[in-house]
Amino acid sequence: MKVYLDNAATTPLAQEVLEVMLPFFNEKFGNPSSIHQYGREAKAAIEKARKNIAQMLNAAPAEICFTSGGTESANMILQGAVYNLGVKRIITSPIEHHCVLHSAQSLSEKVRIEYVELDEKGNMRYEHLEKLLADDTHKTLVCLMHANNEIGNITDIERVGALCSKFNAYFFSDTVQTVAHYPLDLQKIKVDFITGSAHKFHGPKGTGFVYMRSGILLKPILQGGSQERNLRAGTENITGIIGMEKAMSLCYSNLNEDMDYIQGLKSYLLQSIKTIMPDVAVNGNDKTESLYTVLNLTFPPKEHAEFLIYNLDMNGIAASTGSACSSGSDAGSHVLKALKIPADIGSVRFSFSRYNTIAELELVTEKIKEMFSVKVE
């Protein structure tokens, strides 16, 4: 049996999503910018998807711009904030996704970058954020993710949004791990930008979006045609957009049931592993204020613990040490480093979806038991 527990990296495409995408590969293949019936048909499908996605987020269709995913979206926001909105300071945290951290660092000659302090569990210190915001009158962009992709910590973005509003700062929240996994009411949250990526919720890879609050207009980072209201040049990925809307719709139509089921999987695996290895530690928050889809564990420093991911893979179990975007880097997880967790011990991120089962988790527990030669009395 193969077990896939790396859903924070990417999720399998839902069959229902594939079915709605297929016609746009062959029958409805028109270019949305063409004025004939093939083009009009494609354009109408894109605008219907935009309207439906906006409705699910309680936003206006004009506030949704389709992109290739989270990385392009974050770059568009940060570069636009600096070059178009006059931002002179970026406040972020040391555990943001690299698409935010590296994008911010690339702008360091143009802006000052400041980092919010974290507690020992990796939670942002809100009082420090307020102090940073109050200490400077320069136009500021706050970049704080809704939920961390490695340890699962959830930030109170309503609270952050209120602070940003109080000090007239722009607020961008990377919601790639929470779009379609949590309800997001963008009329209630004082956020100026959010991002989404379809492959995180059983949609296709290479498709995402930026939400940009009405009244804010960024210049494109891709030059060319006038697609996406002059915000993102290039022929639209119509199959991806159609698939993303369907995947998002499926998730939100079954949200409460899926949340309860996946939280049950996470709790079951944690309890099962702790039964055989009580000294396993949870990285980040335990149950409250944590993504129900992510469980990051540090195993006791026993022989060969650092090869745990490799051994899991050899047994048909897919998990990870952190962000897939850092694969190939020998620097280790910047998130665990920020939490002062040593890089040379066995830390594993298990991440779940509605397609996982208890039987799979029983197998995972049994394999871990064998790897560590645990004897249960």
The residue with tokens 């011990």 is 345
Residue 323's nearest CA partner among 192, 123, 185, 152 is: 152
**Helix, coil or strand: residue 217:** coil
Residue 112, SS3 per DSSP: strand
- Tell me, what amino acid is at 38? Y
CA distance 237 to 42: 10
Distance CA 250, CA 82 (A): 36
CB 30 within 8 A of CB 42: yes
DSSP string covering 45-102: HHHHHHHHHHHHHT--GGGEEEES-HHHHHHHHHHHHHHTS---EEEE-TTS-HHHHH
Examine the residue annotation and report whether 65 is marked as an active-site residue of this protein.
Answer: no
Distance CA(217)–CA(201), nearest Å, equals: 28
The answer to whether residues 105 and 157 touch, using CB atoms and an 8 Å cutoff, is: no
* Catalytic sites, residue numbers: 325
